[in-house]
Amino acid sequence: MSLGGEKSFKMRMRDMENAFKYRRIPYPKRSVELIAILAISCTFFLFMHTNKLNSRLKEMEIKLQPSEFSALGLTGNQISPRESSRRDNINTLHGTYQYLKSTGQIHNLNARDLNNTVKADLDILVYNRVPKTGSIQLIELMRILGKAHNFEVQVDPQVGGIRTLLDEYEVQELVDNIANLEDGTVFVSHVNYLNFSKYSESRPIYVNMVRDPVERVISWYYYIRAPWIFVPNRRKSNREMPNPKWVNTEFDQCVLSGEKVCTYIEGSAMEQVGDHRRQTLFFCGHNQRKCTPFNTKLPLEIAMQTVEREYAVVGTWEDTNVTLSVLENYIPSYFRGAKNMYYMGLNKDIRNYNPMKPHISEDIKNMLRKNFTREIEFYQFCRQRLHKQYIALKLNDLKQVDKDLQEPRDLAPRT
């Protein structure tokens, strides 16, 4: 082959290679449309499947939450003598259940008799939230539920965040303002119990949350010393920054050294707005003489009577599932689906979490409990009432579980 012929052959081969390399294969227009439809269909299928899988995972998460029945000791699981002793405490769900059984009260238990929601004349929910009881968590839950059930949550824009003791004129004005809200409104405020009937106004639905009194005062102690709390507040009120010693003194040091802020003396008067040792105050009312003496009998009695007579539900995050179940059933127009909604992610988003709060020893807590006897009694009263409301709802199921556990099992081997 001549040199020119060889060169010509190589050029033809290169042209052929380029033709294959850069070739474009024409597709019919309908084929392109079909591929696009298939791609969209696959994407939609994956989206639906993922959404369904996510819903199932959420359902499983809810089912895996600690069972109220297990708290009642009705799952048939083995319970150690030490755990059984703790469960029999009247302040636990199990203890309340066993007490009602042993006294025969279980037979007369009726959820309707324990439901104060039916006494309300206004379709307005008043949540006079107690500080440091997880109120922001409940507010967020109600806001989410409000979108589903068509109600609004109105948080009182009070100055300073707390309004406990009010004079007659202030109470009258606040009661009138709440009574004039639209139906289907939740009114939230750090304020003592408001007696609407006293001011000739229709009664709303009352709800609140409580917390172990000792845990609550410890939480408050560190909350007001957190820089993201005291710095903005001091700037707003144009006051000097706090003494570094006040900020840096640990709670246990404060208690052991006998500092005034950490001494809880029975009968002591209320010192200032930020004196939050009295949980009963938020249920007692605005009578300074009757309601402010710390850890005394009269505020306790008034607070318990108010809860029993007026409040639809007084819950606690220390009994999360029980509280949510009772809210769902006793105030369904506002809380239907609360448990499912809560476990869709809100349970993992703890508001007002304070990483500066250290572990406080049980010795220090036990020292405080001696001075919080009536405050603790009120807290336990609210929990027992909550447990009683829950047991009344689940009575038929509980009786059936009890019956099943008492029936002898056939232990004969299967053939």
Which residues are part of the catalytic machinery?
190
Q: Which residues contact 131 (CB under 8 A, 6 or more apart)?
A: 162, 190, 220, 276
Distance CA 164, CA 276 (A): 10
Helical residues (DSSP H) of 262-394, grouped into ranges: 281-284, 288-291, 297-310, 320-330, 332-335, 338-342, 362-369, 373-393
Distance CA 106, CA 235 (A): 56
Q: What are phi and psi of 124, to 5 degrees?
A: -130, 130
Distance CA 209, CA 231 (A): 28
Helical residues (DSSP H) of 64-77, grouped into ranges: 68-71
Pairing of strands 152-155, 311-315: unpaired
User: Cα–Cα distances in Å, from 256 out to 15, 263, 294?
Assistant: 94, 9, 20
CB 284 within 8 A of CB 306: yes
Measure the CA angle with vertex 250, ends 247 and 251; round to 5°.
110
Element spanning 206, H or E: strand 205-209
